[in-house]
């Protein structure tokens, strides 16, 4: 936090009284019970901020104040006025403002500051407000997502902010932004009567995006499966029961996993292994393939053989593995020898060559060791904030092109990703997203064989974005023509209901975007998660609401397990989610199962059931003896040997099928005509056939 020194804001008692009147201490709206419902911090009527800082300026108007910085968005304005807001602990900040045409930041922040006796800040609470995408010139009101008792962030132990001893409040621009700030503030107040806003845009149950997502999912994640059921002669089997049972999604639903829990037979890890196998079809080794542990710098728990054993275990379970990460180019994430060379921030030409050789050898070695075991590699990670190597090497960002080329040679056929954070969060709007996009464009232009874009999604309550904004981000990056994945997802909060709702909606938005091919969480169990509150399972393996939301989507709402009956032509149609299936066709007590894959464009499948339609006595030929079986069981719903159309009753349709198939054998092609005397050796049995037919017509 940057603000003007407290010494420049000393207040006399008379000035305090005047400011108290101006800025709301006595401007309390009361309910009929006498409880304060609203505290107006400022209505900015012919008044502005007491101070501004870091190149921010203000223009005071009759009903509002314009706060502006034409160079960057970090700074602000505020008031040095004592406040007691203890009676508003459950109130929310309400800000009336108008974003102006010159504004490019995506958030601003209201900060309440508690100071100790020495005039120094001891702690503060902050509440963020999202303005990205709001139309310029349109008055807007935003309400804080949490109450004053629950700051989103702050200085020190902000969760214990003493609301009765506030000495200062401020409006801050967007931290770290290089974009202009230009917003007109009309009124800022605290209200106990204003309803909480949706936790994120689109959280409402009837939000329009939900119908759009359902339509998109049906179009891009599902396809038509036609199952043609035939008998041994190739004739259709009408009424055959068809069971279409999904086995695995085509889309990647994954997690980060800890290799040491997978690589051996320790029974303490059985539940961890079981859940990994049960719930996911892709997994990322969280740490073992990072450069430092790969070279033994993290101790005995991290070994190359242990990593390979974990990858082999995943393969045995049919789980695709992702590699993370070949080159994480920040000094803190590099082996000790390279870190030592980088310590003085001035690599000599000889040291540069040594670093290049070390990187090339590492990529070649780890690529060869994991080749065939890893489907995708995060080749480069977090270049926006971890870029020491690019700064120190003479070739700069072109070094990343070389690393990608080396990875392609070391792991042919493997997906090659760049991965970064802060792109999907509210604070990623604008600069972060554009920088990441431009970096990837430059990689492509430089000849890097990059195949995929990875989006980390590490969220807190205060920085989640709505589903439609997720689509906007993904639409932007889809222009690059690369595969896209959410590579690291979690929502770190103790609000389990919000966690579940956002997990469901974020996953839905991702699954509904045609450019995405995987959604990967960064852990799933509290005792094996870098953010324990974000896990789907508690320490005792009891499932949390976000885990239930995940399972409900992946294995119910987005899972195909359907029964169908073949029509008169022996065909059954099912629209299912793309993936691997077991399809079973059953008729006349016989069942056959086959495996198939449903993908874009659909699939037509033929299953031969070991029966002969019309062969009611199962002797391999449709003849007069089968008529006798039909006649003796006509009308039965229990003895169904003559139920040729598999509708659960022996009826005249089954007689018609016998007529149609008369004379067929297992080696015949389908017979389509009503049997004539010549088909059954009339010289031997014409009298019998005529008698049977007369009996039926009577």
Decide if pLDDT at 371 tops 80.
yes
Detail the DSSP E strand segments found in 513-611: 516-521, 561-565, 571-577, 579-587, 590-598, 603-608
pLDDT-based confidence at 382, cuts 50/70/90? Answer: very high
**Which secondary-structure segment (H or E) carries 256?**
strand 252-257
String of DSSP letters for 10-79: ---HHHHHHHHHHTTTT-EEE-TTS-EEEEEEE--SS---SEEETT-EEEE-SS-EEEEESS-S--EEEE
Termini Cα distance of the chain: 99
271 three-class SS: helix
Please tell me whether residues 134 and 263 are part of one structural domain: no
Cross-strand partners of 57: 68
What's the CA gap between 321 and 404, in Å, rounded? 19
**Which secondary-structure segment (H or E) carries 502?**
helix 496-511
Please tell me whether residues 375 and 521 are part of one structural domain: yes
What's the CA gap between 488 and 279, in Å, rounded? 16
Tens digits of residue pLDDT in 495-534:
999 999 999 999 999 999 999 999 999 999 999 999 999 9
Please tell me whether residues 247 and 184 are part of one structural domain: no
Residue 462 lies in a domain: yes
Q: Which two tokens stand for residue 36?
A: 């304060």
pLDDT at 10 (0 to 100):
32
pLDDT-based confidence at 13, cuts 50/70/90? Answer: very low
CA distances from 665 to 121, 588, 622, 643 (A): 93, 17, 7, 18
Count of the separate structural domains present in the chain: 3
pLDDT-based confidence at 119, cuts 50/70/90? Answer: low
Residue 230: is it exposed, middle or buried by C-beta count within 10 angstroms (0-12/13-18/19+)?
buried
pLDDT at 178 (0 to 100):
82
Please tell me whether residues 149 and 247 are part of one structural domain: no
Decide if pLDDT at 33 tops 60.
no
Residue 662 lies in a domain: yes
What's the CA gap between 348 and 346, in Å, rounded? 6
pLDDT at 180 (0 to 100):
94
pLDDT at 226 (0 to 100):
98
Residue 211 lies in a domain: no
What's the CA gap between 375 and 411, in Å, rounded? 9
Please tell me whether residues 248 and 185 are part of one structural domain: no
| DSSP state at residue 145 | S
Which one of 508, 539, 557 terminates a domain?
Answer: 557
Tens digits of residue pLDDT in 391-403:
999 999 999 999 9
In terms of Cα–Cα distance, which of 321, 389, 339 is closest to 360?
A: 389
Cross-strand partners of 235: none
Give the side-chain half-sphere CA count within 13 A for 303: 8
- Are the C-beta atoms of residues 90 and 148 closer than 8 Å to each other? yes
pLDDT-based confidence at 679, cuts 50/70/90? Answer: very low
Mean pLDDT over 130-148 rounds to 91
Please tell me whether residues 502 and 629 are part of one structural domain: no
More confident residue, 530 or 34: 530
Please tell me whether residues 185 and 272 are part of one structural domain: no
Tens digits of residue pLDDT in 142-189:
999 899 999 988 999 999 999 999 999 999 998 878 889 999 999 999
Q: Which two tokens stand for residue 136?
A: 């310029």
Decide if pLDDT at 60 tops 90.
yes
pLDDT at 669 (0 to 100):
53
What CATH number does the domain containing 290 carry? Answer: 3.20.20.80
What's the CA gap between 501 and 207, in Å, rounded? 13
Decide if pLDDT at 20 tops 90.
no
What CATH number does the domain containing 141 carry? Answer: 2.60.120.430
Tens digits of residue pLDDT in 290-303:
999 999 999 999 99
String of DSSP letters for 166-177: EEEEEEE--TT-
Q: What is the bridge-based pairing of β-strands 376-381 and 65-69?
A: unpaired
In terms of Cα–Cα distance, which of 575, 501, 414, 521 is closest to 199?
A: 501
Please tell me whether residues 183 and 301 are part of one structural domain: no
pLDDT-based confidence at 233, cuts 50/70/90? Answer: very high
pLDDT at 36 (0 to 100):
61
pLDDT at 118 (0 to 100):
62
572 three-class SS: strand
Which one of 157, 191, 225 terminates a domain?
Answer: 191
Residue 601 lies in a domain: no
pLDDT at 14 (0 to 100):
32
Q: Which two tokens stand for residue 356?
A: 């290049």
In terms of Cα–Cα distance, which of 315, 225, 320 is closest to 594?
A: 225
Please tell me whether residues 28 and 176 are part of one structural domain: yes
Residues with Cβ within 8 Å of 607's Cβ and at least 6 positions away in sequence, in order, are: 227, 228, 229, 230, 583, 585, 592, 594
User: Rounded mean pLDDT of the chain?
Assistant: 90
CA distances from 48 to 23, 59, 77, 174 (A): 10, 8, 9, 20
Please tell me whether residues 367 and 481 are part of one structural domain: yes
Q: Which two tokens stand for residue 154?
A: 């702050």
What's the CA gap between 629 and 195, in Å, rounded? 74
Decide if pLDDT at 265 tops 60.
yes
Decide if pLDDT at 673 tops 60.
no
Range of the domain at 689: 624-697
Tens digits of residue pLDDT in 291-349:
999 999 999 999 999 999 999 999 999 999 999 999 999 999 999 999 999 999 999 99
Q: What is the CA radius of gyration of the chain?
A: 35
Q: Report residue 572 CA to chain centroid gap.
A: 33
pLDDT at 615 (0 to 100):
94
Residue 609 lies in a domain: no
pLDDT at 130 (0 to 100):
85
Q: What is the bridge-based pairing of β-strands 92-99 and 603-608?
A: unpaired
Tens digits of residue pLDDT in 452-500:
999 999 999 888 999 999 999 999 999 999 999 999 999 999 999 999 9
In terms of Cα–Cα distance, which of 599, 603, 629 is closest to 615?
A: 629
What's the CA gap between 132 and 432, in Å, rounded? 13
Residue 284 lies in a domain: yes
What's the CA gap between 76 and 182, in Å, rounded? 11
Decide if pLDDT at 554 tops 50.
yes
pLDDT at 115 (0 to 100):
81
Which one of 532, 557, 582 terminates a domain?
Answer: 557
Tens digits of residue pLDDT in 72-82:
888 999 999 99
pLDDT at 152 (0 to 100):
85
pLDDT at 698 (0 to 100):
37
Cross-strand partners of 117: none
Mean pLDDT over 556-577 rounds to 98
String of DSSP letters for 80-126: ---B--GGGTT-EEEEEEEE-TT---SEEEEEEEEE-TTS-EEEEEE
275 three-class SS: helix
Please tell me whether residues 305 and 170 are part of one structural domain: no
Tens digits of residue pLDDT in 614-646:
999 999 999 999 999 999 999 999 999 999 999
- Are the C-beta atoms of residues 608 and 230 closer than 8 Å to each other? yes
String of DSSP letters for 435-466: HHHHHHHHHHHTT----EEEEEEEEEGGG---
| Backbone φ, ψ for residue 416 (5° rounding) | -115, 110
pLDDT at 466 (0 to 100):
95
Please tell me whether residues 185 and 36 are part of one structural domain: yes
Decide if pLDDT at 415 tops 60.
yes
In terms of Cα–Cα distance, which of 596, 592, 593 is closest to 604?
A: 596
| DSSP state at residue 594 | E
What's the CA gap between 424 and 668, in Å, rounded? 63
- Long-range CB pairs of 159-163 (<8 Å, 24+ gap) are 160/123, 161/112, 161/114, 161/123, 161/124, 161/125, 162/114, 162/123, 163/84, 163/85, 163/86, 163/88, 163/89, 163/112
273 three-class SS: helix
Mean pLDDT over 240-264 rounds to 97
What's the CA gap between 131 and 98, in Å, rounded? 10
What's the CA gap between 315 and 325, in Å, rounded? 19
């Amino acid at each position: 936090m940057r603000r003007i020194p407290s010494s420049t804001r000393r207040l006399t008692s008379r000035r305090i009284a005047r400011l108290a009147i101006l800025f709301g201490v006595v401007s309390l709206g009361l309910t009929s019970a006498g409880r304060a419902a609203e505290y107006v911090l400022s209505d900015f009527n012919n008044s502005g901020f007491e101070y501004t800082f870091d190149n921010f300026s203000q223009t005071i108007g009759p009903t509002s104040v314009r706060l502006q910085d034409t160079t960057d968005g970090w700074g602000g304005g505020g008031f040095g006025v004592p406040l007691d807001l203890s009676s508003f602990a459950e109130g929310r900040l309400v800000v009336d403002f108008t974003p102006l045409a010159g504004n490019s930041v995506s958030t601003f922040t209201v900060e309440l500051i508690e100071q100790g006796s020495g005039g120094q800040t001891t702690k503060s609470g902050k509440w963020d407000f999202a303005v990205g995408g709001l139309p310029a010139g349109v008055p807007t009101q935003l309400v804080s997502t949490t109450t004053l008792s629950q700051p989103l962030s702050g200085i020190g132990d902000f969760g214990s902010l003493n609301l009765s001893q506030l000495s200062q409040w401020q409006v801050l621009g967007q931290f770290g932004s290089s974009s202009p700030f230009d917003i007109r503030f009309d009124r800022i107040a605290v209200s106990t009567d204003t309803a909480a806003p949706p936790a994120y845009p689109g959280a409402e149950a009837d939000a329009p995006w939900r119908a759009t997502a359902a339509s998109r999912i049906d179009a891009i994640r599902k396809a038509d499966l036609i199952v043609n059921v035939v008998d041994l002669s190739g004739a259709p089997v009408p009424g055959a029961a068809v069971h279409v049972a999904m086995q695995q999604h085509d889309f990647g639903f994954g997690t980060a996993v800890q290799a040491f829990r997978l690589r051996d037979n320790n029974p303490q890890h059985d539940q961890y292994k079981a859940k990994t196998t049960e719930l996911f079809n892709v997994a990322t080794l969280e740490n073992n393939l990072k450069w430092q542990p790969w070279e033994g710098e993290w101790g005995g728990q991290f070994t190359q053989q242990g990593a390979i054993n974990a990858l082999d275990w995943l393969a045995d379970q049919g789980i695709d593995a992702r590699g993370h990460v070949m080159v994480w180019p920040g000094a803190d994430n590099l082996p000790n020898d390279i870190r030592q060379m980088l310590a003085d921030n001035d690599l000599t030409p000889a040291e540069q060559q040594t670093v290049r050789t070390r990187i090339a050898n590492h990529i070649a070695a780890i690529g060869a060791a994991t080749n065939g075991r890893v489907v995708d590699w995060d080749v480069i990670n977090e270049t926006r904030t971890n870029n020491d190597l690019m700064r120190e090497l003479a070739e700069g960002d072109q070094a990343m092109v070389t690393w990608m080329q080396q990875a392609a040679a070391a792991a042919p056929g493997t997906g090659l990703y760049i991965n970064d954070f802060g792109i999907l969060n509210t604070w990623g709007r604008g600069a972060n997203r554009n920088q990441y996009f431009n970096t990837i464009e430059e990689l492509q232009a430089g000849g890097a064989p990059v195949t995929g874009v990875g989006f980390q999604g590490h969220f807190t309550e205060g920085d989640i974005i709505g589903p439609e904004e997720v689509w906007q981000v993904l639409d932007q990056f889809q222009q690059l023509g690369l595969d896209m994945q959410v590579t690291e997802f979690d929502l770190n909060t103790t609000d389990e209901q919000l966690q579940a709702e956002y997990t469901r909606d974020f996953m839905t938005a991702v699954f509904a975007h045609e450019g995405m091919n995987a959604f990967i969480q960064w852990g799933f169990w509290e005792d094996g998660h870098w953010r324990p509150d974000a896990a789907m399972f508690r320490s005792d393996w009891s499932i949390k609401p976000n885990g239930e939301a995940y399972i409900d989507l992946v294995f119910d709402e987005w899972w195909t397990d359907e029964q169908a009956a073949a029509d008169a032509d022996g065909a059954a149609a099912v629209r299912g989610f793309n993936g691997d299936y077991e399809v079973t066709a059953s008729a006349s007590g016989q069942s056959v199962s086959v495996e198939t894959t449903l993908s874009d464009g659909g699939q037509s499948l033929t299953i031969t059931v070991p029966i002969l339609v019309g062969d009611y006595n199962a002797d391999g030929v449709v003849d007069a003896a089968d008529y006798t079986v039909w006649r003796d069981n006509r009308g039965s719903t229990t003895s169904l040997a003559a139920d040729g159309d598999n509708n659960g009753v022996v009826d005249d349709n089954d007689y018609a099928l016998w007529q149609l198939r008369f004379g067929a054998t297992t080696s015949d092609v389908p017979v389509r005509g009503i049997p004539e005397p010549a088909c059954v050796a009339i010289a031997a049995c014409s009298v019998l056939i005529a008698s049977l037919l007369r009996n039926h017509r009577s």
